[in-house]
Amino acid sequence: MHNSSGDGPESPAAVNGAFCVWLMGLSASGKTTLAQLLAQALARRGFKVEVLDGDIMRTTLSKGLGFTSGDRVTNLRRIAAMAQNLVHQQVVTIVAAICPYHEIREEVRATIGKYIEVYLNCPLEVCISRDPKGLYRQALAGEIQHFTGIDDVFDTPVRPDIEVTTHGEAPEASLARILRKLADLRHIAAEPAAPPEPIGETTVPPQLTRRLAR
Ligand code: ADX
């Protein structure tokens, strides 16, 4: 878990309530990269943050599930239940999972409650040309079935809360866009919160404390 500032009342998560950001899009659209960047940015702002990545969840919570529509729905329901639980415990939760169908998106939104849908819009041809795991090549050769975008559907999100085009801009630019929108939606402060002022006591720099102790 990313965590920079603890659980005290000064924690922005404690003040505004935690939330879940769900990054959805085709395989190789940049979900994992953006999830990590977003997690670091939010941890720097003092939030407790957890990332639930589809690739990892499928080796743990959803181990053994495949990619039929039924298995995907089961996988996504499990992830949503875990996300709901984490948000309830004031952990900002970032999910990186394809989440290909309209209906299951509505369901996970209802399960989680404080849910921000982010669509990583990246053309299929770009994802195919990236193909970091060689899975598109295998799917196009018919070696694996039910591959999203090849022989399985990806419903284009109709009303994402945020849409970023991950082929036309650097991940840092997508990140900045997401952070701005989270601020517009009042989930985070517009600027990183300043460290809280000590009340009724003087802060002694650590070097000085050591010198005084000698
Ligand atoms: S989801 O459809 O249930 O949301 P999830 O995000 O968990 O999918 O897993 C997608 C990841 O599994 C992809 O990034 C890819 O690495 C891998 N994968 C293996 N087989 C498939 C497939 N048939 N379709 C999509 N992704 C697959």
The two tokens of residue 104 are 């299951």
Using CB distances shorter than 6 Å, the residues near ligand 1 are 27, 54-55, 58, 67, 72, 75-76, 97-100, 133, 135, 144, 146-148
- pLDDT of amino acid 5: 43
Measured from the Cα of 65, ligand 1's closest atom is: 3
**What are the mean pLDDT values of the chain's consecutive 10-residue runs (214 residues total)?**
48 69 98 98 97 98 98 98 98 98 98 97 98 98 98 97 95 97 94 58 46 42
Q: Measure the CA–CA gap between 179 and 159, rounded to whole angstroms.
A: 18
CATH number, domain containing residue 69: 3.40.50.300
**How much is the CA Rg of the chain, to the nearest whole Å?**
20
- pLDDT of amino acid 46: 94
Give me the number of domains the chain comprises: 1
Per the structure, the complete domain to which residue 187 belongs is given by 2-213
- pLDDT of amino acid 6: 44
Cα of 206 from ligand 1 centre, angstroms? 49
Cα of 147 from ligand 1 centre, angstroms? 7
- pLDDT of amino acid 200: 52
- pLDDT of amino acid 41: 98
* Residue 198 · residue 178 · CB < 8 Å: no
- pLDDT of amino acid 212: 39
* Residue 78 · residue 123 · CB < 8 Å: no
**Three-state secondary structure string covering the chain:** CEECCCCCCCCHHHHHCCCEEEEECCCCCCHHHHHHHHHHHHHHCCCEEEEEEHHHHCCCCCCCCCCCHHHHHHHHHHHHHHHHHHHHCCCEEEEECCCCCHHHHHHHHHHHCCEEEEEEECCHHHHHHHCCCCHHHHHHCCCCCCCECCCECCCCCCCCCEEEECCCCCHHHHHHHHHHHHHHCCCCCCCCCCCCCCCCCCCCCHHHHHHHHC
Which of 135, 140, 146, 150 gets mutated to test ligand 1 (max ligand atoms within 8 A of its CB)?
135
Q: Measure the CA–CA gap between 99 and 97, rounded to whole angstroms.
A: 6
- pLDDT of amino acid 194: 55
Please name the residue whose Cα sits nearest to atom 15 of ligand 1. 27
pTM of the model: 0.86
- pLDDT of amino acid 7: 46
